[in-house]
Amino acid sequence: MNVNPGLPPTNGDDATRLTGTSFAVLTLIELLGPSTPYDLKQALERSIANFWMVPHTTFYAEPTRLVKGSFLSEQQEAGGRRRKVYSLTDAGRDALDRWRSSPELTPPQLREEGVLKIFAGGDPIPIFRERCDWHRAKLAELEGYLEAVSGDDPAWNGVRSSLQVGVAYNRMMLEAMERFLESQAASGTP
Amino acid sequence: MNVNPGLPPTNGDDATRLTGTSFAVLTLIELLGPSTPYDLKQALERSIANFWMVPHTTFYAEPTRLVKGSFLSEQQEAGGRRRKVYSLTDAGRDALDRWRSSPELTPPQLREEGVLKIFAGGDPIPIFRERCDWHRAKLAELEGYLEAVSGDDPAWNGVRSSLQVGVAYNRMMLEAMERFLESQAASGTP
DNA sequence: CGGCTATAGTACGACCCGTACTATACAGAT
DNA sequence: ATCTGTATAGTACGGGTCGTACTATAGCCG
């Protein structure tokens, strides 16, 4: 049971090993151009984190690993904070291309405490009500992002598509739970 | 960004700390009675792993932690392999009750490499096709489990409900993606 | 320029994870 | 009886991940 799926189920190779998090970093640098870790963190939290969550400490560490595998190159800012700026190398671009155009996918993974509680015998009604609120908020958030990228630069096509997927997903979840709650309310007061 | 949500976002307390995985173990022991780690692993893989994945090595370790926190007690089998058998303590049962009846939930978390690839500019069509196959298989699997627990022992109500949620979820995902693929096929050959 | 808040990180230890390996049970073949 | 293959039932280990807590600079408002 692989909980932390990367690309190959670890080819044992070591510094060459690329996880989903690696590709998240590579993709963002391709989109944004040379970036500092903080640029990446900001962008991540408004986009990828919605379907591929990464804690910020892991995220700050990832570029360092990718430099070691020479998928990224690193420059130092001249003045100010002298922050590190990362760019894609050819190897990085290649790896990204190969991954992106391969049809292989690791299984989707859900961690849903609500269903866990229902399994354990918890009352579904308050659980679904909580979740409805959450999905409503998420839906509003994603619709906001979607408006923010509403140009037609083809480089952002994927970004727009994934946001549309997210909107559709949350709307579906929300409607399904609302239907359930209504049906319960109806059968509760006959 | 909390990727590994437990109950409280870690109260710092230490051995008393209970994660979602802890409650998975406690719930299964409540359902099955005193159990060996392997019993638990088997049951987990057919149920909870669908919405709360845990690798088997973590899972084998968890009962040990729970004994340390005195949520479980441990006996040794008399003969044969002298395997360890775990039972709920009163503290364990209390913790489980409190968690199960509290309405608080950590946010749901999805790790979906398909959307990550779409974000990165991958072609959605083969990705959704892959995913359709996956959801179809999962649906069949869950329907099998559902038949297997089709008695009416009230202790298994939560188990049945969570399976129904899983079936509904996978059916929804499958139908949404099939609709998308059909609409693409239609617009592709006008 | 002094304090406040937001921004931009680092430190660290506990825990998690995947790979690889070990070891026992049991069935059927010899 | 024992061999040998397969399913069952785990353990060992080291690198990676996680959350908490802390530090430090930037910009703003008075």
Please identify among residues 126-165 of chain A the ones whose CB lies closer than 8 Å to any CB of chain B: 126-127, 129-131, 134, 155, 157-159, 161-162, 165
Give me the helices (H) in chain B, please: 20-32, 37-45, 56-68, 90-101, 113-119, 124-148, 157-188
Q: How far is the CA of A155 from the C1' of D16 (A)?
A: 32
- Phi and psi angles of residue A33, each rounded to the nearest 5 degrees, phi first: 80, -175
Nearest by CB to A3, from B53, B122, B124: name it: B53
How near does any CA of chain B get to the CA of A78, in Å? Answer: 31
How near does any CA of chain B get to the CA of A7, in Å? Answer: 9
- Phi and psi angles of residue A16, each rounded to the nearest 5 degrees, phi first: -80, -5
Contact B111, A108 (CB under 8 A): yes
Nearest by CB to A49, from B1, B45, B100: name it: B1
Q: How far is the CA of A101 from the C1' of D30 (A)?
A: 56
Mean pLDDT, rounded, of chain B: 86
For the stretch A130-133, contacts whose Cβ atoms lie closer than 8 Å and that sit 24 or more positions apart, written own/partner, are A130/B103, A130/B104, A130/B105, A131/A173, A131/A177, A131/B105, A131/B108, A132/A174, A132/A177, A132/A178, A132/A181
Contact A121, B23 (CB under 8 A): no
| CA–CA gap between residue B4 and residue A54 (Å, rounded) | 10
| CA–CA gap between residue A17 and residue A23 (Å, rounded) | 11
Q: Which of B29, B25, B32, B34 is nearest to B62 (CA)?
A: B25
Q: C-alpha distances in angstroms, A63 versus A24, A35, A38, A113, A143? A: 11, 10, 11, 31, 30
B150: pLDDT strictly greater than 70: yes
Q: Which of A48, A90, A97, A100 is nearest to A70 (CA)?
A: A90
- Cβ <8 Å between A1 and B118: no
Nearest by CB to A105, from B127, B157, B166: name it: B127
Residue with tokens 């190969």: A98
Give B93's contacts in chain A (Cβ within 8 Å): none
Q: Which of B159, B110, B51, B107 is nearest to A49 (CA)?
A: B110
State the DSSP code for A36.
-
Segment A17-25 mean pLDDT: 90
Segment B71-97 mean pLDDT: 83
A8: pLDDT strictly greater than 60: no
Q: How far is CA A40 from the centre of its chain?
A: 12
B83: pLDDT strictly greater than 50: yes
Residue type, A66: L
- Cβ <8 Å between A112 and B52: yes
Nearest nucleotide to the CA of B6, by C1', is D19
Q: How far is the CA of A38 from the C1' of C6 (A)?
A: 14
Asked if residue A107 keeps its beta carbon closer than 7 A to nucleic acid strand C, the reply is: no
- Cβ <8 Å between B172 and A168: no
Q: How confident is the model at residue A56 (pLDDT cuts 50, 70, 90)?
A: very high
- Cβ <8 Å between A108 and B103: no
Asked if residue A34 keeps its beta carbon closer than 7 A to nucleic acid strand C, the reply is: no
Whether chain A has a CB inside 8 Å of the CB on B6: the answer is: no
Contact B71, B89 (CB under 8 A): yes
How near does any CA of chain A get to the CA of B42, in Å? Answer: 12
Residue A115, classed as helix, strand or coil, is helix
Give A120's contacts in chain B (Cβ within 8 Å): 23, 27, 30, 96, 99-100, 158
How near does any CA of chain B get to the CA of A76, in Å? Answer: 27
Give B162's contacts in chain A (Cβ within 8 Å): 115-116, 118-119
Q: pLDDT tens, A84-137?
A: 889 999 999 999 999 999 988 989 989 999 999 999 999 999 999 999 999 999
Q: What is the pLDDT of residue B2?
A: 64
| CA–CA gap between residue B69 and residue B92 (Å, rounded) | 9
| CA–CA gap between residue A93 and residue A102 (Å, rounded) | 14
Helices A90-101 and A20-32, packing angle to 10 deg = 110
Q: How confident is the model at residue A6 (pLDDT cuts 50, 70, 90)?
A: very low
| CA–CA gap between residue A26 and residue A93 (Å, rounded) | 8
Q: What is the pLDDT of residue B3?
A: 62
Q: C-alpha distances in angstroms, B5 versus A114, B41, B163? A: 12, 21, 22
| CA–CA gap between residue A31 and residue A23 (Å, rounded) | 12
By the 10 Å C-beta count (0-12 exposed, 13-18 middle, 19+ buried), B4 is classed as: middle
- Which two tokens mark B1? 């960004």
Q: Cβ atoms within 10 A of the Cβ of B126, count?
A: 16
Q: Which of A103, A169, A23 is nearest to B127 (CA)?
A: A103
Q: pLDDT tens, A144-178?
A: 888 888 888 898 899 999 999 999 999 999 999 99
Q: What is the pLDDT of residue A82?
A: 66
Q: Cβ atoms within 10 A of the Cβ of A155, count?
A: 10
